[in-house]
Amino acid sequence: MKSKTKPILRILHIVSWIIFIGLCVRAGAILYSFFVSLFLNTGGAKNLYAGLNLSSLFMYDRVQYCIVVSLIAFISALKAYVFYLVIKIFLKINFVHPFSDTVATLVSRIGYIALFIGILSIIGMSYCEWLGRKGVDFTDLHQFMGAGVEHLLFAGVIVFISQLFKRGIEIQSENELTV
Amino acid sequence: MPIIVNLDVMMAKRKMSLNELSEKVDLTLANLSILKTGKAKAIRFSTLEAICKVLECQPGEILEYREE
């Protein structure tokens, strides 16, 4: 392995940890503000997390509000889980024998979860657009539920890589069993 | 796999142990064991050449095709 690759991977590992923690905090904060807005202070819906204002939806219908916030929190939690899997890959990967079943499973799981996030985001955005047509105002929602198509593209690439990885495992085992 | 490795038969004929063979052909015991037990997926010509040289035999005496 090139001398530059190891420091880059180390930096990526650290960045993955930071993003994972950030996404966990985001999911937790959204859930916390959600419960506060429901049971303690209705004004909490004005700023659920980093400017996410769902007060208009809160006034419109509480059930719809619960659905949208649950969806946003669930998507954030899934994104955090993706980064948790990325961290696990960094911990498990061995560059002498890089193709292992564990890493292949993790890569394909990332692909399928990204696919799920993409589908959920598209459904969520369509749902919010439908609510928007009924007069509900959404601000800054795109950064929490947008990028559905990007996630689908990401999922496609990752699933493709996971298939390549499976072929890599076969080649590696063949190479190891060549005397 | 229908390819049978008769390394153990040839070793017995030449009265040679696995340790001795591994030293003479410069292969690890683990790799020779993979070959002997039929777990190997491929064999290099260089390995086959070294084994044939040490055991004084032909490749056909080590490898055999048997239909399953």
Q: Can you give the residue ranges of every domain in chain B?
A: 3-65
On the question of pLDDT at A112 being above 60, the answer is yes
- Backbone torsions φ then ψ of A152, nearest 5 degrees: -65, -45
Nearest CA in chain B to A178: B42
pLDDT score, position A34: 87
pLDDT score, position A19: 95
Residue B64 in tokens: 């055999």
ipTM of the complex: 0.75
> Which residues on chain A are in Cβ contact (under 8 Å) with B47?
179
- The single residue listed with the structure tokens 């690439």 is A157
B5-41 confidence digits (pLDDT tens): 999 999 999 899 999 999 998 889 998 999 988 888 8
Cα A74 to Cα A84: distance, rounded to the nearest angstrom = 15
- Report A:52-111 residues touching B (Cβ under 8 A): none
Provide the pLDDT confidence category of residue A136 given band limits of 50, 70 and 90: confident
Q: Residue A7: which residues within 8 A CB-CB, separation 6 or more?
A: none
The answer to whether the beta carbons of residues A153 and B20 sit under 8 Å apart is: no
Model pTM greater than 0.80? Answer: no
> Which residues on chain B are in Cβ contact (under 8 Å) with A177?
34, 39-42
Cα A34 to Cα A47: distance, rounded to the nearest angstrom = 10
Q: Residue A58: which residues within 8 A CB-CB, separation 6 or more?
A: A37, A42, A45, A65
> Which residues on chain A are in Cβ contact (under 8 Å) with B33?
none
The answer to whether the beta carbons of residues B25 and B66 sit under 8 Å apart is: no
> Which residues on chain B are in Cβ contact (under 8 Å) with A170?
none
* Nearest beta carbon to residue B44 from set A173, A174, A179: A179
Question: What is the mean predicted confidence (pLDDT) over A56-71?
Answer: 85
Architecture of domain B3-65: Orthogonal Bundle (1.10)
Nearest CA in chain A to B42: A178
Cα A115 to Cα A98: distance, rounded to the nearest angstrom = 25
Chains A and B: how many Cβ contacts under 8 Å?
23
- The single residue listed with the structure tokens 């190997």 is B40
> Which residues on chain A are in Cβ contact (under 8 Å) with B22?
none
> Which residues on chain A are in Cβ contact (under 8 Å) with B27?
179
- Report A:157-176 residues touching B (Cβ under 8 A): 173-174
- Report B:45-64 residues touching A (Cβ under 8 A): 47
A68-97 confidence digits (pLDDT tens): 889 988 999 999 999 999 999 999 888 888
pLDDT score, position A179: 87
Q: How many helices (H) and strands (E) does chain A have?
A: 6, 0
Exposure pattern of A154-175 as b/e (b: 16+ CB <10 Å)?
bbeebbeebeebeebbeeeeee
Which of these, A91, A90, A86, A76, lies nearest to A24 by C-alpha position? A76
Q: Measuring CA to CA, how many Å separate A115 from each of A1, A161, B4, B10? A: 31, 14, 46, 56
- Backbone torsions φ then ψ of A96, nearest 5 degrees: -80, -45
Cα A17 to Cα A85: distance, rounded to the nearest angstrom = 11
Mutation for A interface: B3, B18, B36, B41, most A CBs within 10 A: B41
Mutation for B interface: A169, A170, A179, most B CBs within 10 A: A179
